[in-house]
Chain A
Amino acid sequence: NAGVTQTPKFRVLKTGQSMTLLCAQDMNHEYMYWYRQDPGMGLRLIHYSVGEGTTAKGEVPDGYNVSRLKKQNFLLGLESAAPSQTSVYFCASRTASGVSYEQYFGPGTRLTVT
């Protein structure tokens, strides 16, 4: 049981390049989330999904797209990277119901855009 995994762990992009971050979970969770973490700003929600084939915008969705074609995977795309997207990206998942609605987090992807 690997929990939530993220690929890649580190990436450096030049301005204007594109990339896709992959999140995978093996806990059969319905909900999945993408956050970015910046110093002094905590976690900000980019996009989330409440089930396979569905996505919704979070707090800071501009410049990002997402897809949830399979229940276990949630992809985050950057079409044209900008230096403002330099950040640490975390994926999380949770069940739709439960005792605490706890979110389970991946280890993060550190992205630098030059």
Chain B
Amino acid sequence: GEDVEQSLFLSVREGDSSVINCTYTDSSSTYLYWYKQEPGAGLQLLTYIFSNMDMKQDQRLTVLLNKKDKHLSLRIADTQTGDSAIYFCAERGTGGFKTIFGAGTRLFVKA
């Protein structure tokens, strides 16, 4: 079945780059997403990549997609304390109605 896996924790120093990794199982996924959840709030879409792309850059964010290995990564340059949050990797599920979410990676940024 469809599954999305990601590590649960990542700790970085302020100013360093953060790289959050994710693997997924559905090779037919057309959209892959990164959502951000701040404490006490719902998820918000951070960025997404279409499956025919291998890279997308948006200011401090870089998304890399390796379709062969079904691997997605999110790089945050110059990580700030305000980036501390849970980051969810997700794929658009087969059939299009559902989105399959990973367990979320909690990013700690140390000052």
- A residues lining the B interface (CB < 8 Å): 4, 31, 33, 35, 40-43, 45, 48, 50, 56, 58, 90, 92, 100-103, 105-108
Contacts and interface: CB of A to CB of B under 8 A. Distances in A.
Interface string B66-110: 000000000000000000000010001000111101111000000
Contacts of A101: 31, 92, 96, 99
B23 to A, nearest CB: 14
Contacts, number: 50
Interface residues of B, number: 20
Which of A33, A40, A103, A107 has its CB near the most chain B CB atoms (within 10 A)? Answer: A103
Interface of B: 8, 31, 33, 40-45, 48, 88, 92, 96-99, 101-104
A35 B104 CA distance: 14
Contact of B45 (A4, A33, A100, A106): A100
B42 A106 contact: yes
Nearest to B96: A101
Contacts of B31: 100-101
B42 A107 contact: yes
16 contacts: A4-B42, A33-B98, A35-B101, A40-B8, A40-B103, A42-B88, A43-B101, A43-B104, A48-B97, A58-B98, A100-B45, A103-B43, A103-B45, A105-B42, A106-B42, A107-B40
